[in-house]
Amino acid sequence: MELYDKVISAQNFLKEYLPSSIDYAIIAGTGLSGLADDVTDPIEISYSEIPHFPEPTVEGHQGKMIFGKIHQKKVLILKGRFHYYEGYSMTEVTFPIRVLHAIGVKNLIITNASGSLNPALEAGDLVFIKDHINLFPENPLRGLNDDRLGLRFPALNEVYNDGLLHQSFSLAQKLGISSRQGVYVGLQGPSLETPAEYNYLRIIGGDVVGMSTVPEVIVAAQCKMPVLCLSVCTNNPFKDGAKTTIEEVLDVANKTGEKIRLLFQELFKL
Contact set with ligand HPA (CB under 6 A): 113-115, 192-193, 209-211, 234-235, 237, 244, 249
Residue 73's DSSP bridge partners are 70
Looking at the Cβ atoms of 67 and 198, the one nearer to ligand HPA is 198
* Beta carbon of residue 122, minimum distance to ligand HPA (angstroms, whole number): 13
By beta-carbon proximity to ligand HPA, the closer residue of 120 and 155 is: 120
Give least dist CB 130 to ligand HPA, A: 18
Between CA 240 and CA 192 the distance in angstroms is: 13
- With respect to ligand HPA, which residue has the nearer C-beta, 104 or 215? 215
Q: Which is nearer to ligand HPA, 61 or 101 (CB)?
A: 61
Residue with nearest beta carbon to ligand HPA: 115
| Least distance in angstroms from the C-beta of 129 to ligand HPA | 13
Nearest-angstrom CA–CA distance, 24 and 162: 16
Instruction: Indicate the residue among 201 and 267 with the shorter CB distance to ligand HPA.
Output: 201
Residues 69, 40: Cα–Cα separation, whole Å? 5
Could you tell me the smallest distance in angstroms from the CB atom of residue 192 to ligand HPA?
5
Residue 116 sits at the vertex; the CA angle it makes with 164 and 57, to the nearest 5 degrees, is 80
Q: What is the DSSP letter of 122?
A: P
Closest CA to 30 of 130, 98, 114: 114
Nearer to ligand HPA, 99 or 192 (CB): 192
Maximal C-alpha separation, the chain? 51
Asked whether the CA dihedral 42, 43, 47, 53 is positive or negative, the reply is negative
Contact 236, 182 (CB under 8 A): no
Q: Are 29 and 81 in contact (CB under 8 A)?
A: yes
- Nearest approach, Cβ of 32 to ligand HPA (angstroms)? 13
- Helices 246-267, 162-174: crossing angle, 10 deg rounding: 100
Q: Least distance from C-beta 235 to ligand HPA, angstroms?
A: 5
